[in-house]
Amino acid sequence: MNTLSLWFHKFGSPPTFYRLSRLLCPWLFAAACLIGAVGLYAGLVLAPADYQQSDAYRIIFIHVPCAWMSLFAYIFMAANAFIAVVWRIKISEILAMTSAPVGAMFTAVTLLTGAIWGKPMWGTWWTWDARLTSELVLLFLYLGVIGLYSAIEDRRQAARAASFLGLIGIVNVPIVHFSVNWWNTLHQGSTVRLLGPSRIDASMLWPLLLMALATHIWFFASVLARSRTSVLEQESGKEWVREIVQAQGVRHG
């Protein structure tokens, strides 16, 4: 077994994962809050008004990072679902299932803030635009994974079934991303590019990237926190869980 496989299987051990996530979670939440506060202040206060949309554009500092996260979270969920289906690794099952509610939250915020932004820009709260419709489908896919996982009593079987659904739904991710290029839509094209110059002023770009970083850190913190609880529930009969419970009982006693 090579070093990478050895590390992967060690991290996939529930006791190791629990202890590592307990160590990381407080730091990740703190970092997300600090970076998010700086990014919000810079975006809402320091960044200049847009020459066309005035101050109405400032919702992008919430809308755009959440939209990016709605796709990133689904890719993360699908990647862990693939590992869970192929190699039956319990931690990947848990990560896939616990990331679904977090991804659904980001998708819902994306749709809500998009509607708020669309009203003054387009004159309507909602239109069956390709980007909006595919993003709504993404939310339904998240809800489908959550619902299927909750409907089956056996946690391992439930995770496996929901993982298959999550993998099928991955085809919608490129549709969401490239919809503005493939169809004529009201939604504007990408203004931030990894390759080539971004079509957004630097004074607006850096707060946006800070908010993107904050939402990514918050995502991982939330998934790890939810996963810790799921690990304890699924491993409740194991000796290492009883030791943790006893140690906490002594500490609080």
Query: In this predicted model, what pLDDT tens digit does every residue of 105-126 receive, in sequence order?
Result: 999 999 999 999 988 888 888 8
Q: How high is the pLDDT of residue 249?
A: 61
- Long-range Cβ pairs for the range 138-142 (8 Å, 24+): 138/70, 138/71, 138/74, 138/107, 138/169, 138/172, 138/173, 138/176, 139/104, 139/107, 139/108, 139/111, 141/74, 141/165, 141/166, 141/169, 141/172, 142/74, 142/100, 142/101, 142/103, 142/104, 142/107
How confident is the model at residue 240, as a pLDDT? 85
What's at 37, amino acid-wise? A
CA dist., res. 25 & res. 6, Å (int)? 24
What is the per-residue pLDDT for 239? 85
Positive or negative torsion for Cα 125, 127, 132, 133: positive
Sorted by where each begins, the domain ranges of the chain are: 26-48+58-190+203-246
What is the phi/psi pair of residue 18, to 5°?
-60, -45
Contacts of 18 (CB under 8 A, 6+ apart): 228, 231, 232, 244
- Count Cα atoms within 13 angstroms, Cβ side, for 57: 15
Buried residues in 10-45 as b, exposed as e (16+ CB within 10 A)? eebebeebbeebeeebeebbeebeebbeebbebbee
At residue 9, does pLDDT exceed 70? Answer: no
φ and ψ at 198, to 5 degrees?
-80, 145
13 — pLDDT class (breaks 50, 70, 90):
confident
Q: Which fold has domain 26-48+58-190+203-246?
A: Four Helix Bundle (Hemerythrin (Met), subunit A) (1.20.120)
pTM of the model: 0.92
Distance CA 208, CA 58 (A): 10
Separation between Cα atoms, residue 75 and residue 68, nearest integer Å: 11
CB atoms near residue 217 (< 10 Å): 20
Cα 152 from chain centroid (whole Å): 24
| 3-state SS class at 227 | helix
Range scoring the smallest mean pLDDT among 62-76, 98-112, 181-195: 181-195
For residues 130 and 117, the answer to whether their CB atoms sit within 8 Å is: no
